[in-house]
Each structure stands twice: as structure tokens, then as C-alpha cells.
Structure 1
Amino acid sequence: MCRWLAYSGSPVMLEDLLYKPANSLIVQSKHSTLGVESVNGDGFGIGWYGRGATPGIVHSMEPAWNDRNLRELSAQTATGRFFAHVRASTGTPIQQTNCHPFRHDKWLWMHNGAIANFHSVKRDLVMAVDPSLYPEIEGSTDSEVFFFLALTFGLEQNPRLAVARAVSLIEETGRRHGIPFPLQMTVATTDGNTTWAFRYSSERLSRSLFRSTEISTLRHQYPDNPVLHELSDDARLIVSEPFGDLRGAWQEIPESSCVTVQGGEAEVHDFAPTPERP
């Protein structure tokens, strides 16, 4: 399906995380080891926070490993929070408006997984999007509709509850259409200060998701690893699959859970669909 990473901490060059690790996101775009597909070459996107009030985004239909502009941009750009995503389409067209991360005001969103039989449930789900938000939907993916459902249910006020309500609606709609397992997801979203990451699926067999352990501990354990010395003690990474085989560097995020990262603190909470109250 897709592979992604979410970083927060002191400013780092994008290339330090996109290109330099042994199993970097660029490597995963060609040779993913834990994804459904080995190749994730149907476009890519990055979203980062700089001086502006809203994050910048760059999308491309090119495979990430073959895009010279991404290489140039990542060698010149430093940021303290960014999302990156390499795409493997689940059936929707390969076009820039279908690349992640998606943006609304100061919010970013990216997704690995799928709403099952999206063509069958798309109309019902889109009709549930708040009319004031509907004009902002630019592409044709299930992931973008999922984002706007979460916004409809109050993502900007309470992200965990909003995503839980969006998931509940997606599952209810899917099962009404005879779909036994309506949703597969790992999702990341951020407002530029806090990152929320979710791992969940209707069949309780979710796609892989990991978070980094404390950088200061890893730096002590691996004093000769140059990448670790580029990161601050409060740096935190959430990734579809680990960047390498450093022992103790990664913790698998549990099934049906949400990780909240703010500063150097990361909290793990149980996650379950929550129907909207009448």
C-alpha cells in the first residue's frame, strides 16, 4: 500500500532521514520489507513546517527514488517537524492531488491502508463530509475522504475522538454494504505542535507501525552512528518500518492504539471506533 514517516524534534535536514539511513524511506519506496507491496512508486509527498502559518507541501507523481527535485530540496531544507509518504495506489489514479500528505489550514494527514471497496461506499462517505469542507477535496482517494471525515467530526478540537468517530462511520457504512472488514489503517496527523499516529484495522491485523526509542539512549549505545548525532534528545520518529537493524532502536506500536507525541514525550493509548452521539 504505502510507507511513511513522521518526525518531530530539533531541525534536521530532510535528506538525513529520507536518504541516509540503511532502510530509509527512499529505499522503502523501492524495496519495502514489511509492506503489502515491495515497491511504492506511485508518487510521493512531503509536508513540513517552516516560517509560515501553514505547512508547506510538495507532491509528485514520480517514484521517490527517481526524483531529482526531491533530492535537491531535501539537501537544502531543515525543519523540526515533517511528514513524508511514498505511495502505492490501491486503485485511484496516479496524480498529484492523490499524493499524501493532505493539508487543511495548519493540519497535515497521511494514511497507509485502504477503505475496502471504496467505489461502493464513496458516495455515502462523501455525503457525510461537512458541506463547508467539501470544496477542499481535490483528489479521488479514500485517504483524503477519511481526512475530511475526521475534520468533520472535530479533528481540530479532539483528534483521537474525531478519528474514532470517522472510523466508526466508515465501518458502519462498509458493513451496511456487505463489506466484512471495511478499513485498514495506519494514520498520522499533526497540527505542527503535536503528532497523533493510529494503528487499527477492522480485522485486527493492521499494517506495520513503529516508534523510535529515546535518542539519548541510542546515542550512548551506538556512539559511532552519525545519524543519531544529528538528532536532539527530544527527537521522535514514527515509521511504517524501521530504518535499520539497530537493536533497541524501535518499538512496535500495538494493534488498536494511538500514539501522541508532544515535545520529547510519547504516550500510547488504546484506540477503538466510537459512534457519534445522536
Structure 2
Amino acid sequence: MCRHLAYLGPEEPLGRLLVDPPHALYRQSWAPRRQRHGTVNADGFGVGWYAEGDPAPARYRRAGPIWADLSFADLARVVRSRAVLAAVRDATLAGADAEAAAAPYAADAWLFSHNGAVADWPRSLEPLARTLPAADLLSMEARNDSAFVWALVLARLRAGDPAGQALTDTVLEVAAAAPGSRLNLLLTDGAAVTATAWGDTLWYLTEPGGGTVVVASEPYDDDPRWQEVPDRTLLVASRADVLLTPLKDPSADPAPAPSEERQS
């Protein structure tokens, strides 16, 4: 279900990140190499990026497949950014939300994507819906599981939770309410990337000496420096380093407190 990618580093054209690599997100829309659920990501796509001096990201989203959009090909050639989040979508269920259902979702300085599916949606999360203010539910961009998970995350961010805590608490809450859900979440504010590996693949790549980090559902090339993130893990990355923290599955047996692993 879906493939996504976040990038922090020197200014690059969108195409250099999303189209040019041999197994780029563009190609993953029809030929992903490591996707465990679904085969073709043709139910929409989107890219969000940050322009110098503007904290609010721009977005370009469409309901159809990325390969059919000639306007995106032009944008990818000329738009440059130091921070990008993009996704190609394989819908959990058919719906009428069109491009509104395509990640990235956005609010304030944040961009967000969900790779996965909530089990028994929407019935399983009815109790959680009661915890959100009516205004949050009515302002959801789409009526799908990803938009609802984003509403839960955003409520925590706006309450002052750090990004890692907001993702962790949301994943554990949804996993407890809907066991078997796949909850690979990806979040950025243009300065850091926060992600969870929960039920699907997640990888990251850092350049020697720091300054660049890519976090993605799967590698876009065969560079041996790509590192796979273990399942049930929180990733917090900046341009300087990557921090991995194991997450406790609420359905698992009690275990010792997790330790943290810092990568560079």
C-alpha cells in the first residue's frame, strides 16, 4: 500500500530525487521492488516541498498515476528544494476523494504521509474518533484511513508534542484499536524527518560527512549505503544524524524497556 520518500539536503531538482534514479518513486508506482501489500501504486500521487524563506510547504497532488501527468514532468525538471516529501498511492478502499486523498497531507509547516492500512476501517477507529474535536473531523482533507491518522497526529503536534512522540503515541493507539494495521508514517517540517516502520519496509540513506538524508519505503538505487529500519521502530533524522528507537507492540508480551541506537 503506497510508497513514499522524504529528503533533506542540498538543493536538488525534484526529478533528481523522484524520477531519475533507476528505481525512483516514479518507477515504484508500477514496479516496486519491496512492496509487501499491493502491486501498483496508481491511485494518485503527490509531492510537497519547501521554498527558501517560506516555512509553509507547497504541494502538487493528482488523483491519477504519476506517469500519466506531463505537468509533473515539467515541475520535476525545474522545481528545486532542500526538503521534499513525496508519495505514490495504492488506495485501501475505493472512494471519491480524488487528489484530496493523495499524500502528502499538510498543515502549518508539516507534511505527512501514511504507507499502510488501518485494519477494519472505519469501524475499528470509531472510539478514537470520539477523542477528536468535531472541528478536526470536519476539516479532514479526505474520508480515508490515512487522513484520519493524520488528524490524530496533527492534534498531538498542535498540543505541543514533539514529532517523535506524536507519531509514536498515534501508532500505538491505532495499533491497539485496530490490531494488524500497517502504520508506516512519514512526517517532516523541512528541518527534520520523523518516521515509523510498522508493518512495511522503511530504509534510509545518509551521505558521508552528513548534510543529506533520504528516508524511503524502499531504496531508489543499489547504493550499498542504504540501511533497512527494523520493523516496530521510530526513526528521527536530521541532516546530521539518524536516531532509531524500538517501539513496543501493544499486542506483544511484556519486554524490557527499549534502548536507542544512533546512526551517523
Is there any run of 5+ residues in structure 2 with no aligned partner, and where? 251-264
Q: Say whether the 8 Å CA contact 2:104–2:113 is kept in structure 1.
A: yes
Q: Say whether the 8 Å CA contact 1:195–1:261 is kept in structure 2.
A: yes
> How far is the alpha carbon of 1:132 from its aligned partner?
4.4
Once residues 201 and 86 of structure 2 are traced to their aligned partners in structure 1, the CA distance between those partners, rounded to angstroms, is 16
Residues 1:189 and 2:182 are matched in the alignment: no
Equivalent residue, structure 2, for 1:6: 6
Residues 1:252 and 2:241 are matched in the alignment: no
1:111-137 deviation per Cα after TM superposition (whole angstroms, max 9, x unaligned): 100110112124333222234433321
1:136 maps to a residue whose letter is: S
1:37-77 deviation per Cα after TM superposition (whole angstroms, max 9, x unaligned): 22100010011111423111111012011111111111110
Question: Percent of pairs identical after alignment?
Answer: 25
Once residues 88 and 75 of structure 1 are traced to their aligned partners in structure 2, the CA distance between those partners, rounded to angstroms, is 25
Residues 1:241 and 2:239 are matched in the alignment: no
Q: Say whether the 8 Å CA contact 2:45–2:64 is kept in structure 1.
A: yes
Equivalent residue, structure 1, for 2:260: none
Listed as ranges, the matches of 1:82-161 within 5 Å are: 82-93=84-95, 95-154=98-157, 156-161=160-165
Stretches (4+) displaced over 6 A: none
Q: Say whether the 8 Å CA contact 2:104–2:111 is kept in structure 1.
A: yes
Other structure's SS at 2:43 match = coil
Listed as ranges, the matches of 1:1-278 within 5 Å are: 1-35=1-35, 36-50=37-51, 51-93=53-95, 95-154=98-157, 156-174=160-178, 181-200=179-198, 206-212=199-205, 214-216=206-208, 233-246=210-223, 248-272=224-248
Q: Say whether the 8 Å CA contact 1:5–1:238 is kept in structure 2.
A: yes
1:43 maps to a residue whose letter is: G
Once residues 80 and 16 of structure 2 are traced to their aligned partners in structure 1, the CA distance between those partners, rounded to angstroms, is 10
Other structure's SS at 2:194 match = strand
Other structure's SS at 1:140 match = coil
Once residues 243 and 171 of structure 1 are traced to their aligned partners in structure 2, the CA distance between those partners, rounded to angstroms, is 29
Once residues 172 and 28 of structure 1 are traced to their aligned partners in structure 2, the CA distance between those partners, rounded to angstroms, is 31
Q: Say whether the 8 Å CA contact 2:171–2:183 is kept in structure 1.
A: no
Q: Say whether the 8 Å CA contact 1:9–1:235 is kept in structure 2.
A: yes
1:125-168 deviation per Cα after TM superposition (whole angstroms, max 9, x unaligned): 32222344333212011111111112223465322222222223
Q: 1:38 to 1:172 in 2, by over 3 A?
A: closer
2:42 maps to a residue whose letter is: G
> How far is the alpha carbon of 1:273 from its aligned partner?
6.0
Q: How many correspondences in the alignment?
A: 246
Once residues 102 and 169 of structure 2 are traced to their aligned partners in structure 1, the CA distance between those partners, rounded to angstroms, is 24
Q: Say whether the 8 Å CA contact 2:167–2:185 is kept in structure 1.
A: no
